[in-house]
Every structure is written in C-alpha cells, then in structure tokens.
C-alpha cells in the first residue's frame, strides 16, 4: 500500500530535549516536505527536499533541521525544542512537478 508513515504519532517532551520525528514514504517520490498545522493558520511549510541531499527552507524553518540521506526518509529534528513548537506536524511527499502531495497521519508534539 502506498503510504507516508510518521513516528511517533504523539510525543510529549520538555524544553531543550532533542527529538527526531521520522518520516518515510514507499512511493519513490523525489519531493518531501514538512508542515506544521496550528489553529487558524493552516499548514505552514518548515522544510522541503527536492531529492537526496537537496533540502531548502520553507516559511517557518527556525528551530528545525532536516536531512535527506535516503530517498524514502526525511526526518525532522528539533535540537532544542521550545513550547512554541507545540503543534501538529505533517510530512508529505510527491513526484517532482506533480504537486499532488500525499500526507502522513501527523505527529502531535507537546513541549512543556
């Protein structure tokens, strides 16, 4: 089954404790992206990647890092999480040029 998976689905952590949210897709998509969803703000793009070893900032990259060492994986790293990063995070993937994105189920992160 074609899908985008994210882990963990729920995470509660404390300020400053490094964490990684994993994202994996099995559709051989070149393009992958991370979004955060906050009430009233819709989805805002954090980082995206056009292919392996190619990443770029989205609209809200501060406080986040990503890497793309393999085509199928695109982890999101929070080196020092802060409470304002409490949000619902989505990973998505697509073929380059198609713009039709497939979304993961989301990761709800709470930073206290």
Q: Which residues bind other proteins (CB under 8 A)?
A: 4, 31, 33, 35, 40-45, 48, 50, 56, 58, 90, 92, 99-101, 103-106
When the beta carbons of 8 and 16 are compared against other proteins, the nearer one is: 8
When the beta carbons of 63 and 106 are compared against other proteins, the nearer one is: 106
When the beta carbons of 3 and 14 are compared against other proteins, the nearer one is: 3
> How distant, in Å, are the alpha carbons of 66, 85, 93, 107 from that of 53?
10, 25, 15, 24
* Distance from C-alpha of 66 to C-alpha of 101, rounded to nearest angstrom: 19
């Amino acid at each position: 089954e074609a899908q985008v998976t994210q882990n963990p689905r729920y995470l509660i952590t404390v300020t400053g404790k490094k964490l990684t949210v994993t994202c994996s897709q099995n559709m051989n998509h070149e393009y992958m992206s991370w979004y955060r969803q906050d009430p009233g703000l819709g989805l805002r793009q954090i980082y995206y990647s056009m292919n392996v070893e190619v990443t770029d900032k989205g609209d809200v990259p501060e406080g986040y890092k990503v890497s793309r060492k393999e085509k199928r994986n695109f982890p999101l790293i929070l080196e020092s999480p802060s409470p304002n990063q409490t949000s619902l995070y989505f990973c998505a993937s697509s073929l380059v040029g198609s713009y039709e994105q497939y979304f993961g189920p989301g990761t709800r992160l709470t930073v206290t």
